[in-house]
Structures are given as C-alpha cells and as structure tokens.
Amino acid sequence: MRRPSWKNLAQLVEPEKDCIPAPVVEEEEEEHEAEWQAVSSGAEKQAPPWGGAAHWPWAARPPISGRAGLVWMERIALAFESLVNRLIGAQELNPFYHTGTLAVFFTLAVAVTGLYLTIFYIAPGLGTGVAYEAVGAIDQHGLWIGRMMRGVHRYASGAAVIATVFHALRTLFQDRFRNARWLAWLTGMLMLGALWFEGLTGYWLVWDERAQLILDTVIRAINTFPSVGIPFTLTFLTNEATQQAWSFFLLLLFAHIALFTVIGLFYWFHILRLSRAKFLPPRFFMIASGLVLVVGALLWPARSALEALAPPGFALVPQLDSAPSPASACRSP
C-alpha cells in the first residue's frame, strides 16, 4: 500500500480550522506590573482601566514563604505611587515606573561625559602633581563646556545609583527575585556594587581632600593585613617621593574605565532572560532628565575640595612601632 504524500494530505486541510497558529507566550516584563490599582481586597483578578494584563489582588495572592514582610512594603510603596499618579494625572509620566531604564540612561550619560573628561585629564600627564590642576583646568574650558561635562558626569553618577536603588527596592517588595528571576536580581546587585566602586575611583582621581580621605581609609583597611598593607603603602610613598606616582594613577584610571565595562557585562546578563526588555525610558524622560542634568551642572557646578596634602604615612606607624628594631633584634639576651 502506497503511503499518501503530503501533497495529497494538503488537499484535505481546511485553513480556517486546521491552520491555527501556535500561541505566542510572552511574559509581561513591564516594571509597573503591580500598579497601585492592585491594592484592593477583591476575590477575582482586576484588570487596570488602561488595559493590559489583570493583576492579582492581595487577598487572592498565594502564600509564599517570606512574603508577609514584603506585602507591607508593597502596600506603602504603591500607596505613595498612587498619590504621585493623582498629582501628575498620567501614569506614563510617573518616574517610579521607569527606574530601571532611567538608571541605564544616566549610566550612558556618565559614559559620554566620562570620555570627554578622560581626554583632558590625561593630556598634561598623570600623578599627584598634575591631577588636581588637570581637573581644575577642565572647569575653565570655553562656553562652560568643561563645567557642564563635569557636572553632568557627577550628577548623572549619583542619579544612576539612586535610580538603581529604587529599582532594586521595587523588585524586592514585588517579590520578583525568585525562581527564574534570580539571575536578574543577582546581576542587579552586582551592578549596584560596581556603580559604587566606580564613583569611589572617580573621586580618587580628582586628588583633593576627599581623595586623600579615601586613600587614608584604604591604607588603614589593608594594614590589618601587614603582609599586604605595608608593602603597598611603602610603594606608594616611595613613588610619590620619586615623582613616579603616575603609575598608580594609571592603574586607578584603568580600573575606573574597566568597571564600566564590567557594568555593561552585568547588564547583558541582567536582561538575558527578559522577553521584552526595554533599554531606555520614554523620550520625554530622556529629554527632561538631560535638561535637568545640564541646568543643574551649570547652576551648581561640581567643585573640588582643597588639594590633597602629601600622602601621610601614619597608617604605617602602629606596625612599625610594634616591630622590633634591628638593634634590639641583634641584642643578646
């Protein structure tokens, strides 16, 4: 018996009944998945008035271990967001629904302005003797361009950290860090830590009193391990005395730039499992945020503190005082 070919079977197919496309399942990844309208006590799903997927009311949500404490955080946060929605009059203009994409926008602003600052920072050389003057010279660029670039760089850095913190808190109280979302949560926390270290190295490069405070704190911290701390401090003081501190600043600048690459790698893993990831906020938020950064940089420019003094070696004193002197070591008992 001859097996029927697919051409014969195709004649028996009814397109309206048999050719039904497979359903496309896409997980909703909107940041405002749980809107403030979800704060209710109904027993059925409630669809938001603007359309979209329905949201579970509190009474109908399944019990999850550790969820009880997060519920109260979510109630308070969503009640605050409802107030913002009423004051603004349009939910699409509520910035709390775009904290993740706003953090990406601010980080990109940091990268663009950082490229400008890096070019003029390394132009006169590197080291403790020229770092402070190089940063001050950027502020004197014509048409306030240098002042604007430096101010936007600093304020965008702070705004990126704040937006990331709000995004993390929202993800926490919405219980969106379990199961398949663990990778996004872990990489988000790593990005927050990398942003903090990015800002730390940036302040260090200015070489003002803030940078000296950072250096002193680092020296005190690593001197808890004398085998590491004492050689590091002696090397830094020796390089400073011989005008070779540029090597340290070169490594510091490399770390500052490399951290941005690490943040980009974490972000790629952060959105790896999202079906409809959004990279940037709506155009309105980008224009408004950019104007706020530029105006703030011009009206309240970023200023350096007083220039750092010579690197102190007081962090070595406890270890050196406790160590036996060569004379006492050779002394017979």
- Burial call 289-325: b when 16+ CB within 10 Å, e when fewer: beeebbebbeeeebebeebbeebeeebbeeeeeeeee
pLDDT band at 293 (very low <50, low <70, confident <90, very high): very high
C-alpha 114/C-alpha 273 separation (Å) is: 30
pLDDT band at 299 (very low <50, low <70, confident <90, very high): very high
Name all domains of the chain by residue range, CATH numbers in brackets: 99-309 (1.20.810.10)
Rounded average pLDDT over 132-137: 93
Q: What is the mean pLDDT of the chain?
A: 77
pTM of full prediction above 0.75: no
Is the Cβ–Cβ distance between 35 and 78 less than 8 Å? Answer: yes
Whether the per-residue pLDDT at 329 is higher than 90: the answer is no
C-alpha 256/C-alpha 131 separation (Å) is: 15
What does the block give as tokens for 3? 């097996």
pLDDT band at 19 (very low <50, low <70, confident <90, very high): low
C-alpha 318/C-alpha 322 separation (Å) is: 6
Which pLDDT score, from 0 to 100, does residue 68 have?
64
Question: How many residues comprise the chain?
Answer: 333
Whether the per-residue pLDDT at 203 is higher than 60: the answer is yes
Q: Nearest CA to 110 among 158, 143, 168?
A: 158
Whether the per-residue pLDDT at 282 is higher than 80: the answer is yes
Most confident of 29-43, 56-70, 238-252: 238-252
Whether the per-residue pLDDT at 9 is higher than 50: the answer is yes
Most confident of 127-131, 209-213, 288-292, 316-320: 288-292
- Burial call 24-59: b when 16+ CB within 10 Å, e when fewer: eeeeebebbbbbbbbbeeeeeeeeeeeeeeebebee
Q: Where are the alpha helices (DSSP H) in the chain?
A: 6-10, 15-18, 67-88, 99-122, 131-139, 145-173, 182-206, 209-222, 226-241, 246-270, 283-299, 317-322, 326-330
Most confident of 65-69, 84-88, 320-324: 84-88
Which pLDDT score, from 0 to 100, does residue 171 have?
85
The DSSP secondary-structure symbol of 325 reads P
Exposed, middle or buried by CB within 10 Å (0-12, 13-18, 19+), for 77?
A: buried
SS3 label, residue 183: helix
DSSP states of 81-146: HHHHHHHHS-GGG-GGGSHHHHHHHHHHHHHHHHHHHHHHHHTT--STTTHHHHHHHHHT-GGGHH
Q: Which residue has the higher pLDDT, 43 or 85?
A: 85
